[in-house]
Copies of this chain bind each other. A is one copy, B any other.
């Protein structure tokens, strides 16, 4: 899974009908110190995450499993919010 920060939200009226009712958040990967890195992606929120929160997200086909209805064409889903990152090199 990836660690990211929620930095925004997408509004899309015209979309696959299986995405209707989903909350599509923009998440960007972060380093362990919280610095933004890489490119933002769009992930379905399944845990009630908010803008500014650090989150854990799954990518690829396993992301679809996070949804109540498993048949949606989804490749990224937020599956947790981060309480703390303990790092030690």
Contacts and interface: CB of A to CB of B under 8 A. Distances in A.
Interface of A: 1-3, 7-16, 19, 24, 26, 29, 31-32, 36-43, 46-48, 51-52, 56, 58-66, 71-77, 79-89
Contact of A73 (B26, B37, B38, B77): B77
Given A15-B56, A37-B39, 9 more contacts: A3-B10, A10-B85, A14-B48, A15-B80, A16-B80, A26-B85, A38-B39, A60-B62, A60-B75
Is the contact region of chain A dominated by helix, strand, or loop, or is it mixed? mixed
5 contacts: A1-B74, A8-B86, A19-B80, A60-B60, A63-B75
Given A19-B80, A87-B7, A31 B40 contact: yes
